[in-house]
Amino acid sequence: MVAYEWMLLPVLGSVLLCFLLVPLGYQVIARGVIFADLAIAQWASLGTLAGTILVLNQNFAGASVTSLVFALLAAVTVHLILRHLGEAKEAGIGILYVLGASLAVLLVSGDPHGAQALQRAASGDLLWANQEQVIATAVMALLVWLLGYWAPGWISGAFFMPVFAIAVTYAVSLAGIYVVFATLIITPLIVGSLHGKKPLVASICAIIGHLLAIACSVIRDVPVGPAIVVATLFTACLWLIVLGQGSVDKPETG
């Protein structure tokens, strides 16, 4: 039993990550900006790489300060894209994403360990979660759910994007870009949009996928990030098949 005590933080971090990201994913889908989270996550990752390369390793509650700054910059850019580009908004967000990804590659091109840094940023390593990251994720998750209870209108207002950017920054720091995108989108889309379930149900479905992936990663020694993506999609599809497809509606955000 003692041998598995180290898994407490990864498991707790994974559960909290689902409770943090799934409700936000409902709003991302409702706004029709599916790739905004990917773009912001990429820029948060770029900020972390920039802080490391430039030796600006100042942290705030488990996240790089440069990562927070870059994510907020991306959130402001997404807001401007949504305001001014109209139907071309997804194209604008796509450009923002590919710019961030390209800058990340250029930034680490002179580093012999650059490829490893990019891989770590993309797929993360939730199994190495630390206490500071888990506590920060818990605080953000609690904030999102309390805001949803006491001020449900916040999620459709201007306050959403900065909160979203900060949440994504901490999530990327904990689990990497792939896991963040998968957790934000898969169960809100399949369990929410296609089956009409509320965020709590979709969060539980996501948690099941995460825990299956962690178990698989530990037992089979496979990368935990990609395993979470695959397991979450499998769990959500199985949920949909077992419970019936239902009607295709916009997900409830309350």
CA distances from 236 to 57, 161, 180 (A): 38, 26, 16
**What's the confidence (pLDDT) of residue 196?**
78
46 CB-contact burial (10 Å; exposed 0-12 / middle 13-18 / buried 19+)? buried
Q: Among candidates 24, 9, 17, which has minimal Cα distance to 199?
A: 24
Predicted TM-score (pTM) of the model is 0.89
Q: Which one, of 52, 103, 54, 53, lies nearest residue 74 by Cα?
A: 103
Q: What does the pLDDT look like over 86-117, one tens digit per residue?
A: 888 899 999 999 999 999 999 988 877 778 88
Dihedral of the CA atoms 120, 123, 127, 131 (nearest 10)?
A: 70
Average pLDDT over residues 45-67: 76
Tens-digit pLDDT profile for residues 220-240: 999 999 999 999 999 999 998
The pLDDT mean for the chain works out to 87
Q: Which of 25-34, 55-64, 201-210 has the lowest mean pLDDT?
A: 55-64
User: CA–CA separation, 13 vs 23, rounded Å?
Assistant: 16
Residue type, position 153, single letter: G
Sequence-distant (≥ 6) Cβ neighbours of residue 163 within 8 angstroms = 143, 144, 147, 154
**Distances, alpha carbon 31 to alpha carbons 36, 123, 157, 161, 178, in Å:** 10, 26, 11, 11, 21
Q: Where do the domains of the chain lie, and which CATH numbers do they carry? A: 5-242 (1.10.3470.10)
